[in-house]
A and B are shown apart, each in its own frame.
Chain A
Amino acid sequence: MVIKDFKKINDHLWEISRSFREDMRVPARIYATEKMLLDSLEDRSAEQLVNVATLPGIYKYALAMPDIHEGYGFPIGGVAAMDAKNGVISPGGIGYDINCGVRLLRSDLAADVILPRLNDLGGRIFAEVPSGAGRSGILKLSGKDLDLVLKCGARGLVAMGYEEKEDLEFIESGGELPDADPAMVSSRAKTRGQDQLGTMGAGNHFVEVGFVEKIFSKDAAEAFGLFLGQVTVLIHTGSRGLGHQVATDHIRTMMAAMPKYGIRIPDRELACAPFRSEEGQNYFKAMSAAANFAWANRQLIAWEVRKAWKDILGDSGGELKTVYDVAHNLAKIEKYESLELLVHRKGATGSFAKGNSEIPSRYRNVGQPVLIPGSMGTASYILAGAEGAMENTFGTAAHGAGRSMSRTEARKHVEARALRERLEAEGIYVFAGSLRGIAEEAPAAYKDIDSVVDTVEAVGMAKKVARLRPLAVIKG
């Protein structure tokens, strides 16, 4: 595709009209500057967004956030709201890592207090949080215990003694989707996930110790419990092998069911079924269970991080409290314009404006916390959801910087040891299981986070609250 295929709506919004391709049911819209749009045309992401616009029951438009990049099925940063009565649910609109998401913890300490112990702290977190592909966690759950986690999510882990009730209030949906049904999760998925709670995984997943480098909104920062110089911890991971297998199982089922419903799609990875059908409901219940597993996973990782924190800093370290935990790969029923819609977000995060009942009461006058992590060694942002998101993007904002370079290219161009040394010279320690992982996640492989966040704010999806600077990055 080329830029001529787009109509410029304004400096940050571009539209591909419905007439672009015969099978489109709605237009496709990308929120980006001209430069970001041109960059996105280097890969197949726009074409993937056009494919999304063909799905039955899609409402108004297929959307892409400013961090759009090529995925499979949906592009990363893709959003589609389906009519919950007559539309479809597509596992490809959620991805294999169901409820991949981010949790932010805040401490009572200022960065200068922990700097002398930073290396020890990073090393201890690396030891406490299993990372890398195929590593087991401290819990091996099966039978009723695993079903409890699948049904109750983070609350299930609190019931087992991992963490405090207070966390639950600050997790999206309380860390527990009510439609979860463990019976819809195959025994294979359960086998794949049984030893993976409390594990980070590999790829772009990480735990990052950082500090509040800048405050943009004093009132919002105060509501979120943030202050300048404060040490924070970001946790980024998802539902691990359990979620991957749930998606694999149900995409296969839906592919077989599509002829029965007369559904034709341009990409098999968009396999879907009517939301109200047996196949659609079975997937929704399994997806909800996998999402609960992911919230329990981040809950256990928070427990592991707190353990490391206490081991190194003792009682003087104080507590690490949850600011917020948000999903960026999920489908949820939400209401817009008096319609019940099934909003698919793949690499996109909820961004509800103030007053929404989904927002924890403490933050309700500010807006939903929007957590946008940068790449390794670069800034991350905390924003608050705003009206523009409710009006234009089904309560959604961007979820990250977005890749601009393939992992293979990154490995070719980045010398991991040199990168680690450079970051250390900047005061950022990197703890990683492999040099390959460091090279693949190099900042040069990602878009500029500042441009993504500026676009999010410019179009009114969310307002900047604070910027975090990393101190120690722990990854697989």
Chain B
Amino acid sequence: MGFIILPHTADLRMRVDGLSLQELFLGAFEGMMRVLKERKPSREAAKIFKRRIKISSADASALLVDFLNEVLYNAYSHKEIYLSVAFKNISNTELEAEIFGVPVEDFDEDIKATTYHEADIKKNKSGKWETVLVFDI
């Protein structure tokens, strides 16, 4: 499970992978959070807030983008960085999760949105689920 930043002229391109769909989603969540706040805030730093996400989308790729945009909405509207995610239910078209975060003063990067541009979840040669994501920054 992981993420790697790839070149993009104007925005931010990231490749994420995982042994399962859940691991892939977790990698993308972690990657986006590290862009928003390079240093992960400490768990002891403040009270932990829990936010719930429940969405359905046309397919797994759209579900991933929609999930990340839900996380972004929560991050900006509550001014929080999320430290972890607990997936309650995840299929190709539905997702239910809880995200746990702490308040922050500001963010390191302004991610306007996660785009659908190159989102296309497929199995790679190593048998991992993989996709590229482009974030508008």
Q: List residues of A whose CB falls within 8 A of some B CB.
A: 43, 45, 69-73, 76, 95-97, 132-135, 188, 191-192, 201-203, 241, 244-245, 247-248, 251-252, 255-256, 267-269, 271, 403-409, 433-434, 436, 476
Select one of A71, A134, A251 contacting B116, CB under 8 A.
A251
Smallest beta-carbon distance A324→chain B, Å: 25
Residues of A within 8 A of B10 (CB): 69-71, 76, 403, 406
B115 an interface residue at 8 Å Cβ cutoff?
yes
B6 to chain A, nearest CB (A): 8
| One of B7, B73, B115 near A72 (C-beta < 8 A) | B115
Residue of B nearest to A245 (CB): B73
Q: Which of B21-29, B42-50, B94-102, B105-113 contacts A (4 or more CB under 8 A)?
A: B105-113
Docked-complex contact B113 and A248, CB < 8 angstroms: yes
| Partner pick for A135 among B8, B9, B106, B108, CB 8 A cutoff | B106
The answer to whether B136 and A132 touch across the interface, beta carbons within 8 angstroms, is no
**Cβ contact of A43, chosen from B9, B105, B112, B137, cutoff 8 A:** B9
- 26 examples of A-B residue contacts, CB within 8 angstroms: A70-B8, A70-B9, A70-B10, A71-B10, A71-B11, A72-B136, A96-B112, A96-B113, A97-B136, A133-B107, A133-B108, A133-B110, A134-B76, A134-B104, A134-B107, A134-B110, A135-B106, A202-B109, A245-B73, A247-B113, A248-B73, A248-B113, A251-B116, A267-B117, A268-B119, A406-B10
Q: In whole angstroms, what is the CA distance A333 to B50 when docked? A: 44
Per the bound structure, the CA–CA distance linking A271 and B115 in Å amounts to: 11
Report B's interface with A, CB cutoff 8 A: 5, 7-12, 36, 58, 62, 66, 69, 73, 76-77, 79, 104-110, 112-113, 115-119, 134, 136-137
Q: 7 closest Cβ contacts across the A-B interface?
A: A72-B117, A268-B116, A133-B110, A133-B107, A202-B110, A96-B112, A244-B112
Residues on the A chain within 8 Å of B76, using CB: 134, 192, 241
A interface SS class: mixed
Q: CB-nearest residue of chain A relative to B8?
A: A406
Given A256-B58, A267-B117, A268-B117, verify A476-B110 contact (CB < 8 Å): yes
Does the CB pair A69–B109 fall under 8 Å?
A: no
CA–CA, A62 and B114, complex, Å: 25
Name the A residues within 8 Å of B36 (CB-CB).
133
Residue ID in chain A nearest B5 by CB atoms: A408
